[in-house]
Structure 1
């Protein structure tokens, strides 16, 4: 399970190639404004009491039988940009 998690993390962080095509530039802006004020609020939340109690309820009794079967599952191969496929 740990190996699968590490593989997915690696794939997620290295799954694409990003190439900068053009340099960006911030706009030149000259703005004069009154900064204003943020309103003040006094917020008082409700008091919440959470407790638990034991009650008797009717629940079904279930027995489960299992068996092994062959099923079709996905097989995913990922080729990252710049990698050559096997056999080439």
Structure 2
């Protein structure tokens, strides 16, 4: 009888790694920022700015003056009266099902 075995060397190659993880984190951060601007939680008002004039020698431009307004989240407590149900426990004797295993030895 013939013996058929697969004696090939198997090597696992992992692709992705840190680069893929960083890309995913940057994409999530971009989505969060887009949601904050879309919902109005953040707003940006660009007042003035200028691009540099480029000749043979470039002259530096000015960064835009940006005023970013964010909503304020207020967290606190206040006293109020609410109906709270009272739960009372009592001990009572009842029969509970039991599951067990027996050995066939006599």
Common topology (TM > 0.5): no
Greater helix share, structure number: 2
Structure with the greater alpha carbon radius of gyration:
2
Larger RCO: Structure 1 or Structure 2 (Cα < 8 Å, ≥ 6 residues apart)?
1
